[in-house]
Chain A
Amino acid sequence: EAGVTQSPTHLIKTRGQQATLRCSPISGHTSVYWYQQALGLGLQFLLWYDEGEERNRGNFPPRFSGRQFPNYSSELNVNALELEDSALYLCASSNIRDRVLAGGRDQYFGPGTRLLVL
């Protein structure tokens, strides 16, 4: 079974530009989560999408946005990039409705996209 995939693996942008990061969840998973892992700040929750809707949002400015497509893949968009947006962005997926499988609702992480803002 394929795991969570993310693209691109690395992304270099300049300040003020926009970045688009993509995530494909594990087959059968309907929820996608985005986390930011910035140096010195640890892992912070960004966004949670389920069934195409934004369900929860972390303490990030509105220039961080995203969407989830009908096939449950997701995009994270970061507008007006700032230097401090440089980080590893991790995507995770889960099936929050799975009450049968042990661990069915655990979050499984992808390898991340490393964003560098110059």
Chain B
Amino acid sequence: AQSVTQLGSHVSVSEGALVLLRCNYSSSVPPYLFWYVQYPNQGLQLLLKYTSAATLVKGINGFEAEFKKSETSFHLTKPSAHMSDAAEYFCAVSDSPQGAQKLVFGQGTRLTINP
């Protein structure tokens, strides 16, 4: 069964600093990995996804993630944090291409941006 672990339920960075949100996965088959963002009182928005085409994936709002099979990781990064990045971020895994079947989510990481 697929699973993901997000290290750190809360991450706080200063505006302009590097954002690093950690995600490790467990999968018996080649995984399809996703990062979603949830702003307060809203649903989930897809930030980016890995579907084996390229290990470095660029997403919306300046975020990117690198798939590292040897480390079973898919960490999310952004070079310079903006106040508008404050939200909850979820890493998810699916065993089907582009999440055609169910997504298994991590517990989420709440990102706080300090002015």
Query: Could you list which residues of chain A lie within 8 angstroms of chain B, going by C-beta atoms?
Result: 4, 31, 33, 35, 42-45, 48, 55-56, 58, 90, 92, 94, 96, 103-112
A105 lies within 8 A of B97 (CB): yes
Contacts of A56 in B (CB 8 A): 101-102
Q: Total number of A-B contacts with CB less than 8 angstroms?
A: 58
Task: Give Cα distance in the complex from A103 to B104, angstroms.
Answer: 18
Q: Is residue B17 within 8 Å, beta carbon to beta carbon, of the partner chain?
A: no
**B21-29, B63-71, B78-86, B105-113 - the one binding chain A:** B105-113
B107 lies within 8 A of A45 (CB): no
Determine the main DSSP class of A at the interface with B.
Answer: strand
Give the contacting residue for B100; candidates A35, A45, A90, A94; CB below 8 A.
A94
Central interface residue in A4, A33, A42, A44, by most chain B CB within 10 Å: A42
Q: List 26 A-B contacts (CB under 8 A).
A: A31-B100, A35-B103, A35-B105, A42-B105, A42-B107, A43-B103, A43-B105, A45-B103, A45-B104, A48-B101, A55-B101, A58-B102, A94-B98, A96-B100, A105-B98, A105-B99, A105-B100, A106-B49, A106-B98, A107-B99, A108-B46, A109-B36, A109-B45, A111-B43, A112-B42, A112-B43
Determine the main DSSP class of B at the interface with A.
Answer: mixed
Contacts of A90 in B (CB 8 A): 43-44
A42 lies within 8 A of B102 (CB): no
Task: Give Cα distance in the complex from A105 to B99, angstroms.
Answer: 7
B93 → chain A, closest Cβ, in Å?
12
